[in-house]
A and B are shown apart, each in its own frame.
Chain A
Amino acid sequence: MNIHPDDRGYYGAFGGAWIPELLQANVSELEGSYRSIIASKGFQEEFRHLLKDYVGRPTPLFFAGNLSEHYGTRIYLKREDLCHTGAHKLNNVVGQALLARRMGKEHIVAETGAGQHGVATATVCALLRLPCTVFMGKKDMERQQLNVLRMRMLGAEVQEVTSGSQTLKDATNEAIRYWINHPLNTYYLIGSTIGPHPYPDLVASLQSVISREITTQLQEKENKEVPDYVVACVGGGSNAAGAFFHFIGNGVTRLIGAEAAGKGVQSGETAATITLGSEGVLHGTRTLIMQDDDGQISEAHSVSAGLDYPGIGPLHAWLSQSGKADYMAVTDKEALQAALRLTRLEGIIPALESAHALAILEKIRPDKQQVLVICLSGRGDKDMDTYQKYADRL
């Protein structure tokens, strides 16, 4: 199964590099060098070393006994929440930062929604002694204060974004603008499987360590390499791309992406891009986006800042359209309930993003003998304010 895009960066009808001429040289430079650098022995050695001893990989594949009993099936949690900095984001950042250094770049710019990608970027930049600038929406800075403090302590410059909806979409606009204005020595370190080609492929490839580990770990625990289900949340789609990667099109595994329905798919306050979206071009890629009749991009809403994005990676648009994966919408309330359930049953407080994946358990009916892997993409420390408010209402 070929799960890389074609030479022009397309997965079926989705992808490409819809970027202004101002960015062509940067993107061409990246496109021309990423495959050979990543394939090189030196890069691979450095990358594997950092994944093992710095990120803390492989992350455990934990058999969630109490949750399994509750749902009457066999549920494993892929513990990306145990990665250094608390989420899968670091896998991608380590890879791209090493790539940037090999390309001779001297400055890193990134966008962040929940702050997890920003923290991961600030962390690796501290390690590799690269200066970095992180753009973050004002609204997200307010609801993810802890991550803002972490980034600043790590030495990153955090730039508040006050344009538009003041969330991830606008932070992405500003990061791209900064890149346009500083084209020669700056590397744009994108945090998800979005943006112009080659970013979606680059990020999916770097995150594919997740499904590669699942394959080995399942062999040990269940004596099979392929699960019956893999479930992951999707905002831009990076942890889902990584969790699905080696199982796409195998004819056995049902892949399910959980997108954020916010207050409900039809509420007008939602981030259910695949359920509601239509084809368009946003942030350099042709994909499914939430937009009005005039082609203006809608503002997304989700209780989880990391899923608050009106687009979706082109890989997922293609997986959805071709029926290779299913995407279901999970409301804020369903996610909060799922988070509380996991916390009480397994003693694990999940990130709000990951809680959307857990909520899928309420929507599917697997058999007793079937094996489910849920990508627990991040831990919930950053969401304690939201959980506290929710718990107060119970």
Chain B
Amino acid sequence: MKLLTHNMLSSNIKGVTNGFPLKIEAEKIIERPVEINPVFLKNMFAKLEWKPLVEASRTMGFSELPEDVPDMSVLDSDEFLQKFHHALLEIHLEEGALVCPETGRKFPVQKGIPNMMLHEDEV
């Protein structure tokens, strides 16, 4: 699972008002190189929640993203784009779990696929 997907996912257990961001418990992390696409990154930038992305990439062992929300001008620098791209699309959570911030419910991640199925009493 990419951090891009992590940044979009929220827990939708019944009664949870703010299921975002899910905490990451990483057991196995892999990196898969992908071709960089600056246009996509620029487009995506506005939709991302920056803080959760920085936090998530830290848990995954990549701490080169700036702490504070950078402004749009930074998107012109290749160095930043490279880091941004790496954090967003190249780091994959292979085994581990996602934890709902409100209820502490764990969604297991196996073989890179998060299991977001809810139990009957959570719907």
A is bound by B: no
Hey, which bits of chain A sit against chain B, CB under 8 A? none
